[in-house]
Every structure is written in structure tokens, then in C-alpha cells.
Chain A
Amino acid sequence: MGPTEIKIGGLGGQGVILGGIIIGKAAALFDSKHSCLTQAFGPEARGSACSAQVVVDSEPILYPYVQKPHLMVAMSQDAFAKFSPELRPDGTLLIEEELVKPTGLPSTVKVFAVPATRIAEELGRKMVMNIVMVGFFTAVTGIVSEEAAREAVKDSVPPATIDLNMKAFQRGFDHGKKLVAKA
């Protein structure tokens, strides 16, 4: 099948990199696949659009960079504007629906939206919106298994916050499953 390229974009502080680490970790440590994560380093990592890039494959990964993502997550309008031109015409775009208004996309791109920030606020901590997004990503894309994603979340967040984060994951996951069933 070849490598699947994933790009996660958002604002510095939204947990973009951790989101990428969890997806990469789910694939490499808990799904017995290979994954490689790279991130943009530089001044743009603070306050404006930043990104994590993950390549997932059943074979060892040779080329580490994401060039034409199959899957993209946009958590801010800036990130959408900056990164969406890279998305493959047959790619899948996941957006934070209250922060991103997608425009100018080819009609062949599949778009799935989740109010991740509002869900996180309902859970009492806006900070867990990235985990809502990871749950949503897992349900919509299937590139990592639900079980692996859950293990990777547990392995990546502070122990005292595991319950909260698992709830956040579940809310995002359920939302994604509903959308996929409708699609």
C-alpha cells in the first residue's frame, strides 16, 4: 500500500505536536507498524501555524518527510491556509469546525468536522482538545486502531489526567463514528 502521509497543523499551544506523537506512537508501538514523526522547527513554532508530520507504513520508512499528505488535520484557520494546498486532491481533511472555515478546496477532498474545542470545554479543560481530535482522527481515518490509539494516549499524558483524556478521546471518537456512518 505504501506510506501514508499525515500532517497535523494548528497554533502553537494547541497540542499539535503531542497529537502527532500520539498518532505516531499508536502506529509504531501498539499497532506493530512503522512510523516516523518530524516537526517544523523554527520561530514559526510559537503562536502561529505549526505542524507535526507523521509517516505510517507497514514497511520501514525511508523518506522521513511528508510531501503530499493523504490525511490532514487543521486546528486553526492559519494552519488551514498554510498547509491545505499540500493535501492530495483525493485526500481527507479533518477540521476543528468552529475555528476553521475551509475554502477553495478541490471537490474531491473529503472533509470531516468536529467542534473539538467546545467538547473539551464541556469536559472542563480546553487543553484536551487535541485528544478529542486524536479520537476523531482515529474513528474517521482508521490508520491507527482504536486500541492502539487509546494505549498511546495513556502512555503520553500525565498519569493524573488519564481519565479526563480518555473521556476526551471517547467524545472525539464517537463524533467521528457518527459522521463516518452518515457518509
Chain B
Amino acid sequence: MSNANSSGTLTGSHYLDGDHACSEGAIAAGCRFAAGYPITPSTEVVERLAQRFPFVGGRFLQFEDELAASIALLGGAWGGAKACTVTSGPGFSLMMEHIGLAAITETPCVFFNVQRAGPSTGLPTQPAQGDMMQARFGSHGDYRLIALCPNSPQECFDLTVDAFNMAEEFRVPVLVMLDEVVGHMTEKVVIPDDAEIKVTERRWTKKPPGEFKLFAPAEGSLVPEMVKPGDGYRIHVTGLTHDERGYPKMTVPEHEKMQMRLWNKIVLNADKIVKYEAKDLDDAEVVVVSYGITSRIAERAMQQARAQGVKVGSFRLITAWPFPEKEILQLSKKVKAFVVPELNLGQMVLEVQRIVEGRTKVVPVPHVGGTVHDPQVITNAIVGAVR
């Protein structure tokens, strides 16, 4: 780690696991506060942050539980830092309350969830992708956020930088949804020079105190600006429905106004947010929709299916939420079937089915987790979908 440059970015080629790559991505993106209650298989993320932060002016605080960690995360963000917390399923469940609070208070922050098999404490050291719907709907009420699914240590670095950038751009909680395999696998990770890493800084308002409204969207945008603590602004931040000044105002019109802006800042910007990787779609009769480690197992299955003469293409979700609705809808008009393998008993496949509306076949390939799919099972589903 001696070759970190003056800003703290660990430029160069490294042999890192996914968890450590997340830590380096966070540092490169400017994160300088992490609050956590370490839990397998995410512990390595905070271990490395705790080790690296003293050299880059950051702080890691370990709390008594995940409730404290996730509320401290929001405090850190409002205190002016780019901030994150790191957890796995059991902790993610406890953090739901503060994901909702982050959504309504429009707090830019990043949650890492290195998924293990559940429910409850489940299989602490083994993988799953069972928190995907919880990521979307886990806190109460209507809200939108962003969730990303890396499938390699390299992508853990890259998407962590994106996560911090999008948290600032849209002032939402951004969830980085690893799975245990991606978190614990070690591969080559190339970290570019600072000049090549795009970092979105916090949008501090230039309006003077008195004129500035904390929750009024900036001109030409759906997203408000923020204020630096200590700059003389008196602010009020609440989990209650609030007006543009941030004060509780619990009327239906005010609620609708606030809710719809929180909703629309993600929904209307979906084209800017959604990322996916498409392969061999031009002549595809079957499209495999997958994410995280499962996308790599599915790639091997697709090679086997192609060898059997099946025209199969891949649509890999990089953004799980917002879901790439438009793209799946277009594909549904030309392919014979979607095959959706995932390390759960059927979560993102529900979203595919919802969008496809029965126009074409949707084949789930569920797995209880604890390990990855046998590629042959996915191959059989692909071949079976067209025969």
C-alpha cells in the first residue's frame, strides 16, 4: 500500500479481493467516513478502511450495532463527509429504517451489502443474492434508490466510485450489492490515475443563508443543493414530510409534492442511471438476465448452450435498481424466452415477468444459495427454453 499517491488513491495493478477493492474505490471516490458494525462476509471492507483511513484523513467508527452505524452514516454525510456503511443480510435488515430516513432526507450515502444466505443469520460465510427485493422495498413507504451489482473485484472498485458519484448527483442512498463470492474472490484490479477517475463532488449551495431552501431543487434539476456545516446556515432535517425549508408540513399537497420529486428524481433520470452489459443480443432467441457472480456462471452456461446450437445472448444487470425496464421491454418483443438464474428462489425474475407481461416465456433458475449454480443447470434451462 506504500504506492498510494498523495490523494490516497492506490493507483496501479493489484491482486485484491472484492471487499478490499470496495474499500479502495471508496477512498478513490473521496469517502472519508465509514460507520460500521463488522459482519461476515463484509468485514474486510471496513478492516481495510480502518487501516487506510488514518493515512488519508478519514475516520472509521465502529458502533454497538447496525442501527447506530447506519444513523451515524447519515450524521457523517450531513457533517460534510462522503460516507458509507458496510454490512451483510442481518445488519442490512436492521439498517432499513435509516435507508428510509436517508431517502426522505435526501442524504448522499453508500451502503455496501455483501450478501450471504438468509433468512436471519443463515449461512454467514456462504453466498446468496437474496436481498435484492429488500434492497428495493425494504424500508416502509414509497421511495426510490439506486442499487448496483458488481461481478468482479475490478467492478467492485469501479462501481464503488460510481456509487459515491451517484449518491452526490441524486442525493439518494446508493446500495452496492455484492455477494459473498465476489466479496471474497481475489483477482487483478487496476486502479487508474486520479486524473482518470471521475469524481462527483458534493454540490454546495452558493445561495446565502436566509435565501437558501434546503429542500428546494436546484434550477433545472430535481435535486437540491447542500450546505456545509459551520458556514452559518440554520437547517432543519426531519423524517417527517417537510416543505422546501425542511420544516414538517403534513398536508396532502405538500406530501405529494415532496414524494413525487423524490420518486421522479430517480424515475425520470433512469436513462442516466441504468447500466447493463449486453452480449450477442442481435440474433438471440434466448436472453439470459443475470447479475453478480451468477452472471459469470451463466456465461459459462451460455458457451455450452451455443455449442449445442442455441442462439443465446446475455443481458447483465449492473444496475439492479432502477431496473432497466425499457431495454427488457424492447427485448421481450423479439426473443423467444428470458432465462433468469439467481442465488435466491426468485426475486429479480419477478421484475422481468412484470415487464414482459406474458409476451414471451420467462424461465426462472432459482438456487437456495450457499454456493453458486452448477453451470449445467443453467445450460439445460437455456436449451429447454427453445426446444
Which residue numbers of A lie inside 8 Å of B, CB to CB?
21, 24-25, 28-29, 34-39, 41-42, 61-65
Question: CA A63 – CA B294 in complex, angstroms?
Answer: 9
Contacting residues, chain B, for A35 (C-beta < 8 A): 187-188
Q: Verify A24–B125 contact, CB threshold 8 A.
A: no
Given contact pairs A42-B125, A64-B296, A24 touches B15 in the complex (Cβ within 8 A): yes
Give the 9 A-B CB pairs with smallest separation, nearest first: A37-B186, A25-B15, A28-B188, A41-B125, A62-B300, A62-B296, A62-B299, A64-B185, A36-B187
Contact sample, A vs B, 14 pairs, CB 8 Å cutoff: A21-B15, A21-B186, A28-B187, A28-B188, A29-B13, A37-B185, A37-B187, A38-B181, A61-B296, A62-B300, A63-B297, A63-B300, A64-B185, A64-B372
Any A CB within 8 A of the CB of B41: yes
Contacting residues, chain B, for A41 (C-beta < 8 A): 40-41, 125, 184
Known: A29-B15, A36-B187, A64-B372. 7 other contacts (CB 8 A): A21-B15, A37-B17, A37-B187, A41-B184, A42-B125, A62-B296, A63-B375
Which residue numbers of B lie inside 8 Å of A, CB to CB?
13-15, 17, 40-41, 125, 181, 184-188, 293, 296-297, 299-300, 371-372, 375
- A-B contacts, CB under 8 A, total: 52
Question: CA A42 – CA B186 in complex, angstroms?
Answer: 17
Given contact pairs A63-B300, A64-B296, A39 touches B184 in the complex (Cβ within 8 A): yes
Given contact pairs A29-B15, A62-B296, A62-B299, A34 touches B185 in the complex (Cβ within 8 A): no
Question: CA A179 – CA B185 in complex, angstroms?
Answer: 33
- Secondary structure dominating the interface of B: mixed
Contacting residues, chain B, for A34 (C-beta < 8 A): 187-188
Q: Which of A24, A28, A64 has the most CB of B within 10 A?
A: A64
Contacting residues, chain A, for B299 (C-beta < 8 A): 62
Contacting residues, chain B, for A65 (C-beta < 8 A): 371-372
Question: CA A68 – CA B377 in complex, angstroms?
Answer: 19
Question: CA A21 – CA B16 in complex, angstroms?
Answer: 9
CB-nearest residue of chain A to B295: A62
CB-nearest residue of chain B to A54: B186
Question: CA A37 – CA B15 in complex, angstroms?
Answer: 9
Question: CA A61 – CA B300 in complex, angstroms?
Answer: 9
Contacting residues, chain A, for B13 (C-beta < 8 A): 29
Q: Verify B188–A29 contact, CB threshold 8 A.
A: yes
Q: Which of A38, A62, A65 has the most CB of B within 10 A?
A: A62
CB-nearest residue of chain A to B2: A159
* Residue among B125, B186, B300, B371 making CB contact with A36, cutoff 8 Å: B186
Question: CA A100 – CA B367 in complex, angstroms?
Answer: 38
Contacting residues, chain B, for A25 (C-beta < 8 A): 15
Question: CA A43 – CA B345 in complex, angstroms?
Answer: 28
Quote the shortest CB–CB distance from B332 to chain A (angstroms): 26
Quote the shortest CB–CB distance from B129 to chain A (angstroms): 15
